[in-house]
Amino acid sequence: NAGVTQTPKFQVLKTGQSMTLQCAQDMNHNSMYWYRQDPGMGLRLIYYSASEGTTDKGEVPNGYNVSRLNKREFSLRLESAAPSQTSVYFCASREDRKLNTQYFGPGTRLTVL
């Protein structure tokens, strides 16, 4: 069981470039989440997917899009990267809304120059 995996681990982009962050889980969880973590701000929810085929905005969705490709995979896309999107991005999954344990991936460190 790999749990939650994320690729890439590190990425440097120039302003205006696009990229997709990949996330996959092998725990057969229904819900998946994308967070960003910035110093002093904690974890902030970007988008989430309560189940396969559904996605919803979180607290800070502007500048991002997501795709729930299937039950295992949930990707985050930056269409035109900005320096304000420099952050550490975490993907997480959870079996059910009533079970409160979220399992997090190792994170992607993104720098936008």
Residue 73 CB, nearest distance to another protein (Å)?
A: 17
Backbone angles phi, psi at 34, to 5 degrees: -120, 130
Q: Which of 11, 17, 50, 67 binds another protein (CB under 8 A)?
A: 50
Alpha helices in 1-107 (DSSP H): none
| CA-wise closest residue to 95 among 2, 10, 4 | 4
Tokens of residue 19, six digits? 């990229």
Verify binding: residue 89, another protein, rule CB under 8 A. Answer: no
| Stretch near another protein under the rule CB under 8 A, chosen from 11-19, 61-69, 70-78, 105-113 | 105-113
Query: Looking at 82, 97, 111, 113, which residue binds another protein (CB under 8 A)?
Result: 97
Are 58 and 45 within 8 A, CB to CB? yes
Subset of 13-32 contacting another protein (CB under 8 A): 31
